[in-house]
């Protein structure tokens, strides 16, 4: 066989291979369209997910801007409870732990944090004052005794008890004098904190509530934690059972043509997966 005949034979084999490949592609064109649609859909879903993440980050930044410039608003509701409201910060787990040092504890997940400073300025009205142990000395024209009063107030969830004994001495010459007195004050002040999120505006608010009279909230801070990127990576598993759907490519040997032919298809596989955290993003 001459060189020209060998070249023609090789060229014919290449032409036959390309022809067989094209014929095979035509046969599986429907599968190829499914694969192409699957790949395009995957990229579109990924793009939508990226847009949602970006929109969420913009919303958090806007809310935190309000939180840093907002002041504490106080009012009374219909039940007489004292309410204080303010925008709350939205931070990641890492940011929250860096800002609030006492939260740095191992194996703990912090969802929300609130603190407040409050001032109490109240006037207590005593309905009944009792004089007891009264002794009158007619010779010196003096009167000694004890002024006693107590008051027990119970509110919705708070309560207060106050009592005292004031020794006194009254005479014509020295008028009225008092001895050492001891006041007993027992307070049980209920304070409720709550963090809420408006799904329409994206704002996160925290509110403080108490039913104890005379309370003024001087300051307050509320923080709600969101999962940061590093936190999500740390919480992910490296291994597990996985499901994969995707295109496949290979070759098969044909007894008729005595040659290898390409093969395309769509495969669904289920098996054990392992992905190091360094390859997760």
Q: Taking the CA of residue 203 as centre, how many other CA atoms within 13 Å lie in the half-sphere pointing to its CB?
A: 12
184 and 145 belong to one structural domain: yes
Q: Looking at per-residue confidence, does 188 or 53 come out higher?
A: 188
- 175-178 vs 159-171, strand pairing mode: antiparallel
Is the residue at 97 inside a domain?
A: yes
Which structural domain range is residue 23 located in?
3-50+236-279
Where is pLDDT greater, at 231 or 109?
A: 109
Q: What is the pLDDT of residue 230?
A: 56
| Helix, strand, coil percent values for the chain (each to nearest 5) | 30, 45, 25
65 lies in some domain: no
123 and 258 assigned to the same domain? no
Q: How far is CA 165 from CA 123, 146, 176, 231, in A?
A: 19, 6, 16, 60
pLDDT at 20 exceeding the cut of 70: no
pLDDT at 152 over 60: yes
Span 172-196, average pLDDT:
86
Please indicate, yes or no, whether residues 82 and 218 belong to a single structural domain of this protein: yes
Please tell me the total count of domains within the chain: 2
pLDDT of 159 > 90? The answer is yes
Q: What average pLDDT does the chain have?
A: 78
Say yes or no: 265 and 164 in one domain: no
Residue ranges in the chain assigned as alpha helix (H) = 3-27, 29-69, 93-99, 229-235
281 pLDDT above the threshold of 80 = no
Task: Retrieve residue 167's tokens.
Answer: 């020794």
Q: Does residue 152 fall inside a structural domain?
A: yes
- 61 found inside a domain: no
Q: Which residues contact 263 (CB under 8 A, 6 or more apart)?
A: 24, 248, 249, 250, 251, 252
- For residue 1, pLDDT over 60 is answered with no
Asked if the model's pLDDT at residue 229 lies above 70, the reply is: no
Domain match, 91 and 216 both: yes
- Tokens found for residue 135: 């002794």
Q: Is the pLDDT of residue 162 over 90?
A: yes
Q: What is the pLDDT of residue 190?
A: 92
Rounded to the nearest 10 degrees, the angle between the axes of helix 29-69 and helix 3-27 is: 60
In this structure, the answer to whether residues 86 and 103 fall within a common structural domain is: yes
Res. 158: pLDDT tops 90: yes
Mean pLDDT value of segment 97-111: 67
By three-state DSSP, how is residue 46 classified?
helix
26 with 115, same domain: the answer is: no
46 occurs within a structural domain:
yes
| pLDDT over 60 at 106, yes or no | no
Instruction: Out of 203, 227, 251, pick the residue that ends a domain.
Output: 227
166 and 215 assigned to the same domain? yes
The total of other beta-carbon atoms located within 10 Å of residue 88's CB is: 28
Tokens of 194: 């709550």
Say whether both 98 and 201 belong to one domain.
yes
Q: What percent of the chain has pLDDT over 70?
A: 69
Q: In this model, does residue 160 exceed pLDDT 80?
A: yes
Q: Residue 248: pLDDT band by 50, 70, 90 thresholds?
A: confident
pLDDT at 44 over 90: no
What pLDDT is attached to residue 26? 66
Residue 63 lies in a domain: no
What's the DSSP call for residue 279?
Answer: G
Q: Is residue 42 part of a domain?
A: yes
Both 195 and 265 in a single domain? no
For residues 86 and 262, the model is more confident at 86
Are 108 and 90 in contact by the 8 Å Cβ rule? The answer is no
264 SS3 class? strand
**Cβ atoms 82, 211 nearer than 8 A:** yes
Residue 56 lies in a domain: no
Whether residue 132 is found in the same domain as residue 172? yes
* Judgement on whether residues 76 and 212 belong to the same structural domain of the protein: yes
């Amino acid at each position: 066989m001459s060189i020209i005949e060998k070249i023609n034979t090789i060229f014919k084999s290449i032409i036959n291979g390309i022809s067989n490949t094209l014929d095979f592609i035509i046969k599986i064109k429907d599968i190829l369209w499914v694969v192409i649609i699957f790949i395009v859909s995957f990229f579109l879903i990924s793009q939508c997910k990226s847009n949602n993440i970006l929109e969420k980050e913009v919303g958090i930044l806007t809310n935190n801007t309000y939180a840093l410039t907002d002041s504490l608003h106080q009012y009374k509701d219909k039940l007489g409870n004292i309410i204080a409201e303010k925008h709350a910060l939205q931070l990641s787990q890492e940011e929250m732990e860096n800002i609030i040092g006492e939260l740095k504890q191992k194996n703990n997940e912090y969802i929300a944090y609130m603190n407040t400073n409050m001032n109490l300025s109240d006037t207590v009205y005593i309905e009944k004052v009792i004089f007891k142990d009264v002794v009158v000395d007619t010779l010196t024209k003096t009167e000694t005794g004890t002024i006693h009063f107590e008051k027990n107030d119970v509110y919705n969830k708070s309560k207060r008890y106050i009592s005292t004994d004031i020794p006194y001495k009254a005479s014509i010459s020295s008028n009225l004098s008092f001895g050492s007195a001891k006041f007993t004050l027992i307070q049980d002040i209920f304070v409720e904190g709550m963090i809420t999120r408006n799904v329409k505006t994206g704002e996160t608010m925290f509110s403080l509530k108490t039913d104890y009279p005379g309370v003024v909230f001087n300051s307050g801070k509320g923080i709600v934690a969101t999962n940061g990127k590093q936190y999500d990576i740390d919480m992910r598993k490296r291994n597990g059972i996985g499901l994969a759907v995707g295109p496949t490519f290979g070759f098969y040997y044909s007894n008729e043509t005595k040659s290898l032919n390409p093969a395309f298809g769509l495969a669904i596989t289920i098996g054990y997966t392992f992905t190091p955290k360094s390859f997760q993003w």
